Amino acid sequence: MSQTLKSLGIDQLTFAQRILLVEEIWDSIATEAEQALLTEAQKLDLRRRLDSYAKNPKAGSSWEDVKARLQGQP
* Full-model pTM: 0.45
Sequential pLDDT tens for the chain (74 residues): 678 989 999 999 999 999 999 999 999 988 887 777 889 999 999 999 999 999 998 888 889 999 999 998 76
As a whole number of angstroms, the distance between CA 58 and CA 50 comes to 13
Are 14 and 45 members of one domain?
Answer: no
Are 53 and 22 members of one domain?
Answer: no
Are 11 and 32 members of one domain?
Answer: yes
Are 47 and 31 members of one domain?
Answer: no
Helix (H), strand (E) counts: the chain: 4, 0
For the chain, give the longest Cα–Cα distance. 52
Are 30 and 3 members of one domain?
Answer: yes
Are 6 and 30 members of one domain?
Answer: yes
- Total count of domains within the chain: 2
Are 41 and 70 members of one domain?
Answer: yes
Q: What range defines the domain where residue 43 resides?
A: 37-74
